[in-house]
Structure 1
Amino acid sequence: MNRSDRLIKTVCCLLVFAFSLTAWQPLSAKGAGAVINAKSGMAAQPPRIVETLYPTDDIVIADIVATEAPYYADATGAADCTQAIQRAIDDCYAAGGGTVFLPAGTYRVTGSLHIKSFVTLRGDWQDPDKGNAYGTVISAEVPSIYNNLPALINIGGSAGAMGLTVYYPEQDIDHVKPYPYTFYVPGSGAGFMLQSIINCTVINGYKGLAACLDNSGHEMMTVENFKGTFLCRAATAYNQSDVGTWKNVSISPKYWANAGRRSAPLEKIKVYTRANAIGLTLGDLEWTQFANLKIDACKWGLHLVKGKRIEFAGALYNAVITNCNIGILADAIDERWGMVLANSRVCGSENAIVNNTLGVIKMAGVQLEGGPLAGKVQISSFSRLKQVIKAVFGKPRQTARYMNDCTDLSAFTADYAAAPHKPTAELFVLNADKTGAQDVSAKLQALLNAAAGTGGVVYLPAGRYKLEQSIEVPAGVELRGSSSVATRDQGGLSLGTVIYACFGLNAASPDSDTAQITLRKNAGVRGIRFVYPGNSCVKPGALGQVLPCSYLIRGAGSGVYAVNTAIAAAYNGIDFRGCDNHFIAKLVSCCYNNAVIAGNCEGGIIQGCLQNGTVMSRNGLGLPDWVDEGTQMFPYLFNAVTRVNTEYIKLVNAKDETVFNCFAYGVKTLVILDGSENTLAFNIGADNAGGTMLVAKGGSATVVNMMRWNGASYSNQGTKLAIYNRLTIDDRTEKTVKS
């Protein structure tokens, strides 16, 4: 870039910055004031609502706005913002976690950013499928090198990159330059679990997103609305244990081609990506769940490679892979399991799928186009493969496995853009004890009551809050914690917003007694972790003795929701019976009896949820007599309590419920369907279950992509039930169920 170009850029960026100062406005909270960050010694900004240029599913609450004092990140693209943004992240972390907001503008970054645990770096995001103004743009002016690392943006555990668009100004389609990965999950330590990349675009990336390229590991990585053009690899991931979820991922040359003044010619991009780019490179991911995945114009759409610990096993639903040389290339699959692919389309001009392993690629409702299947091919005896493959096949060789049920599943899909009720832009900040020592029930209820008149958000900044009394959230009000993304306690580290639930223990009628929190119509809970400190499963000499308690959260009207919540040591979790159009997303739990129940309602969605006893053991709360993962987890928790008692999701007389991308470890039953009509469940899994994975009694249901480790896959008493793509260890040939 010559001097005159730089001058023009600077003048234009100054105009953009001036516009951005008026385009977004912070809305101050009721009674909020400046506070001092004791650890950093800097004046912290009060939490506030920020209005964005582009629509969001939630109200954006910023704990720090990085363009303001004392950070002054330059939104014109002229000055280097790397240190300013990093200082804002560091101060947010020191204050206990929260959200650092970058208003719409261009931010020049010349080095690596590290988003620490329990912090979200959030921008103003325009969906690139709806326009090319973009909002918050990170101008990545980093050295061009072939190395994978250092990445531009590194993401810790319970941390997130959200609403960011990244552009590489020195990239040139005629002279392609290599760069390290844009987003990276290093894993391990406080970065081990639940990293989020949400609403992020990479306009002209070389390498997009990666996880654990070295010998580290990670769990529960969450990728949603990740879009972009990538010249080498869109994503590469290794060594994930507890299940991650990917939703709404789109990889295509169009994003750079449609980038306005930042664009390159579409045909040139296509020629390059068809010759050089790989969509997703996946190593040892355990049961990762993909929904609504689109990959276009790559050399290979999906490449399954040898892992560092094991091999890939996972589930894909609504995957569309088009205009690739090879749609799916499998060089390594966990041969005990395989992978499941459903309601999808795979196109490869050379080969739709190449399977070079002995693992099964099990398909249902998959349309295969272009070149033939290849590798060590065996056509399953129950498959009617010819009906869906539009290519002329060569003679198959008899070793590897493809299995395809050709039933048309196109009618069975989810609303991937669904979101719960959005409250009004009014903010009420709780000022109460944040150590967990004092009961804050009265103060919290008073603030909730104050919000009832206008609706809005009652915000609990990072800290620990004790509730000894029941709480009611009025209609249209959201009870909100400090995180913009899903969080869980990390091993030895528990920042963010935590509520100690102390009400309802030892309930006489745990199914019906008053809940700790009651949600009225269109009310919800977001960004909070709940723990029952008085209900540990560890009692010396008394295995399996936990206290029954009422539900933690109960809905009392339509439109109720729980998003980005965690629950530990609850007997019962969420009760949304009688609540039409309820919404649950990213619930991370360890519940002793039941995590979620819904019934006598219509149109609910449960997505991206996980239950595991590690939610109990991995924390830094310092609670007495708490479960130790190494010595007590199995005898005191799994074997004595959850594998015997926990019915994870129960749907009783529900109608049109959708459940997807959900997993549980060590429960009795994953899903119970009792008289529920037209249930759709896909991408579900259960590991080390104590009983039958799916129990169906009456009603009707369609279940697709169902993975388990042990036990029976289902029982059926009078349900009109269809199950496609069942998969269990060492028994990959379980047939379709239609009754």
Structure 2
Amino acid sequence: MMNQFKFRMRILVAILATVVLGGSTITAPDLAVAASVTDYNVKAAPYNAAGDGIADDTAAIQSAINDAQSAGGGVVFFPKGSYKLSSTLHITEHNVQLEGTGKGSSLFLDKGTDAVIHIGTGSGQTTHNKVKNLAIDRSVAPNADIVHSPSYGIRVEGARFTTLDGVTVFNAAYGISVGVKGNAQLNTQFVTILNSNVMTTGSMQPTSVFPGANIVFWSGADYKLSKTFLEPTNIGVLMEGNSNGINIDTTTVINGAPFNYGIMSVGNGFARYIVNSILENAHHQQIYIGGESERVTVANSWIGAGDEEGTTTRLGILIESGAKKVTIADNRIGDQQLQGIFSKGDNVTITGNLLERNVVRNRLNPNNCLSCDSMQIEGGKHVIVNGNRVFSDFDRNGIGLFDDGARKLNYYIVTGNDTSESGSGIHDAATGTSKVVANNL
């Protein structure tokens, strides 16, 4: 009876909306708004979830989700509490919103595998679902075998128009996973992650580096990550496979404890943008752009390190051989142990950047990287380096231009750069053709 009443209320809301809109057709987003009129409170009857961190609330919460799905959508509300789960919660239909009170509403799964929340069916027909103001807390360390037995906080695959807003995820191998691993189709699209945190604290303090990544985009397209804080122990953001059209904006990737990579772009995806962000303290690369990546932009970001001791492998931005159409523009890149920018790619534009105190030698290794330049270009073709400013006490050259073994550096323009306060300024040792190196300080 209760579900029939809720369904009739939704129909009434939809009819009223139609009247207000002058008889216009109600779209799926309009239905989502209409559905949000009614809450399915997981602590209320008939669900009666305990939220005490002791009782298993899986069946009660899944029942509330199922009722919302059967009614065409709705808000499944989690009052303040700690909700213990023994298996994954599944959203397989449309217009369902899981909403809590922030960190006071916590879902925890006391096992080292599987997802806490899974959104999608694999077919790409699940649409307009949302998780808002919920904490996901893995209370058991993730399984080390992330290939065969991975753990996830929230897993989105085969779904479209999904929003994760104000979500906090603790202690998962993959905090938030988007797309189907190894899939080349677009069955996952239009995922927005904002105002969220993926961290390594919570109910369990990690004793070692977790595998995986805080956020991973496996495949699909049209994703937005903004105003989010990541505290990685391995990788902050991993863009892998055929994941395309990714906009990472106003995101911070930092941890005072050891971690390996800030943001990685690998696989054959394209149109990946990293803008207005802060990356610090990765022990290898702050940003890694792999050899199959294409059309990657890094702009208006702070790429640095919070200490000078660090590791002797710390590098700002590495662009591998085979990467194409890469733009590095208007960033501050500093305090790296090795190069600020090291490029081996093709069709690379590096413009308007400030490179400050890279190739840092520390008291533990005062002779670190005597052959490193603040900006180092090796091999590749169609490379433009313009309007950059380089400061460093220890680099070999401010900007170094070289062949990469059999790969000559061809078709390059290096103009308008200021390297007057670094090493030997600009050093052109490349033997390729069609080059302009002029009007630099």
TM-score (norm 1): 0.39
In 2, the alpha carbon distance for the partners of 1:135 and 1:402 equals 51
**What are the ranges of 5 or more consecutive residues in structure 1 without an aligned counterpart?**
1-34, 48-59, 126-133, 254-272, 409-739
Match status 1:330 vs 2:289: yes
Q: What does residue 301 of structure 1 align with?
A: 262
Q: What does residue 183 of structure 1 align with?
A: 154
Equivalent residue for 1:227, pick from 186, 197, 200: 197
Give the conservation status (yes or no) of the 8 Å contact 1:301–1:327: yes
Sort the Cα spacing of 1:377 and 1:106 in 2 relative to 1 into closer, same or farther, 3 A: same
Match status 1:244 vs 2:223: yes
Match status 1:197 vs 2:171: no
In 1, the alpha carbon distance for the partners of 2:182 and 2:156 equals 11
Give the conservation status (yes or no) of the 8 Å contact 1:378–1:401: yes
Q: Secondary structure at the match of 1:346?
A: strand
Match status 1:368 vs 2:333: yes
Kindly state the Cα deviation for residue 402 of structure 1 after the two structures are TM-superposed: 6.9
Equivalent residue for 2:96, pick from 105, 119, 124: 119
Q: Secondary structure at the match of 1:205?
A: coil
Give the conservation status (yes or no) of the 8 Å contact 1:136–1:165: yes
Q: Secondary structure at the match of 1:86?
A: helix
Kindly state the Cα deviation for residue 102 of structure 1 after the two structures are TM-superposed: 0.4
Kindly state the Cα deviation for residue 378 of structure 1 after the two structures are TM-superposed: 7.5
Give the conservation status (yes or no) of the 8 Å contact 2:85–2:110: yes
Kindly state the Cα deviation for residue 62 of structure 1 after the two structures are TM-superposed: 4.7
Q: Secondary structure at the match of 1:88?
A: helix
Whichever residue aligns with residue 118 of structure 1, its letter is N
Whichever residue aligns with residue 116 of structure 2, its letter is L
**What are the ranges of 5 or more consecutive residues in structure 2 without an aligned counterpart?**
14-35, 121-126, 201-209, 306-312, 360-371, 390-441
Q: What does residue 354 of structure 1 align with?
A: 318
In 2, the alpha carbon distance for the partners of 1:104 and 1:377 equals 51
Kindly state the Cα deviation for residue 63 of structure 1 after the two structures are TM-superposed: 2.0
In 2, the alpha carbon distance for the partners of 1:404 and 1:249 equals 31
Q: How many residues align?
A: 313
Equivalent residue for 2:75, pick from 75, 99, 107: 99
In 1, the alpha carbon distance for the partners of 2:314 and 2:3 equals 59
Whichever residue aligns with residue 206 of structure 1, its letter is A
Kindly state the Cα deviation for residue 383 of structure 1 after the two structures are TM-superposed: 3.5
Whichever residue aligns with residue 397 of structure 1, its letter is E
Give the conservation status (yes or no) of the 8 Å contact 1:380–1:402: yes
In 1, the alpha carbon distance for the partners of 2:381 and 2:236 equals 23
In 1, the alpha carbon distance for the partners of 2:356 and 2:346 equals 15
In 2, the alpha carbon distance for the partners of 1:304 and 1:214 equals 15
Sort the Cα spacing of 1:292 and 1:383 in 2 relative to 1 into closer, same or farther, 3 A: closer
Q: Secondary structure at the match of 1:96?
A: coil
Q: Secondary structure at the match of 1:170?
A: coil
Percent of matched pairs sharing the same residue: 21
Sort the Cα spacing of 1:99 and 1:407 in 2 relative to 1 into closer, same or farther, 3 A: farther
Give the conservation status (yes or no) of the 8 Å contact 1:376–1:396: yes
Give the conservation status (yes or no) of the 8 Å contact 2:324–2:346: no
Q: Secondary structure at the match of 2:316?
A: strand
Give the conservation status (yes or no) of the 8 Å contact 1:363–1:402: no
Whichever residue aligns with residue 121 of structure 1, its letter is L
Give the conservation status (yes or no) of the 8 Å contact 1:366–1:404: no
In 2, the alpha carbon distance for the partners of 1:345 and 1:313 equals 21
Any idea what the Cα deviations from partners look like across 1:398-436, whole Å, max 9, x if unmatched? 21677676689xxxxxxxxxxxxxxxxxxxxxxxxxxxx
Kindly state the Cα deviation for residue 194 of structure 1 after the two structures are TM-superposed: 0.8
TM-score (norm 2): 0.63
| Alignment map for 1:409-424 (pairs within 5 Å) | none
Sort the Cα spacing of 1:402 and 1:287 in 2 relative to 1 into closer, same or farther, 3 A: farther
In 2, the alpha carbon distance for the partners of 1:136 and 1:237 equals 26
Sort the Cα spacing of 1:177 and 1:382 in 2 relative to 1 into closer, same or farther, 3 A: closer
Q: What does residue 431 of structure 2 align with?
A: none
In 1, the alpha carbon distance for the partners of 2:223 and 2:155 equals 15
Match status 1:139 vs 2:105: no
Any idea what the Cα deviations from partners look like across 1:162-197, whole Å, max 9, x if unmatched? 11112222339xx9897511111111xxx2x11111
Please identify, of 338-347 and 106-115, the stretch whose mean Cα deviation from structure 2 is larger: 338-347
| Alignment map for 1:249-288 (pairs within 5 Å) | 249-252=228-231, 273=233, 277-283=234-240, 284-288=242-246
Whichever residue aligns with residue 286 of structure 2, its letter is G
Q: What does residue 37 of structure 1 align with?
A: 3
Give the conservation status (yes or no) of the 8 Å contact 2:324–2:347: no
In 1, the alpha carbon distance for the partners of 2:217 and 2:378 equals 31
Whichever residue aligns with residue 234 of structure 1, its letter is N
In 2, the alpha carbon distance for the partners of 1:296 and 1:158 equals 31
Give the conservation status (yes or no) of the 8 Å contact 2:290–2:323: no
| Alignment map for 1:579-728 (pairs within 5 Å) | none
Any idea what the Cα deviations from partners look like across 1:14-51, whole Å, max 9, x if unmatched? xxxxxxxxxxxxxxxxxxxxx6324999x99x99xxxx
Kindly state the Cα deviation for residue 218 of structure 1 after the two structures are TM-superposed: 1.0
Sort the Cα spacing of 1:314 and 1:226 in 2 relative to 1 into closer, same or farther, 3 A: same
Match status 1:167 vs 2:131: no
Give the conservation status (yes or no) of the 8 Å contact 1:171–1:204: yes
Any idea what the Cα deviations from partners look like across 1:379-407, whole Å, max 9, x if unmatched? 9787355x434324435312167767668
Sort the Cα spacing of 1:384 and 1:294 in 2 relative to 1 into closer, same or farther, 3 A: closer
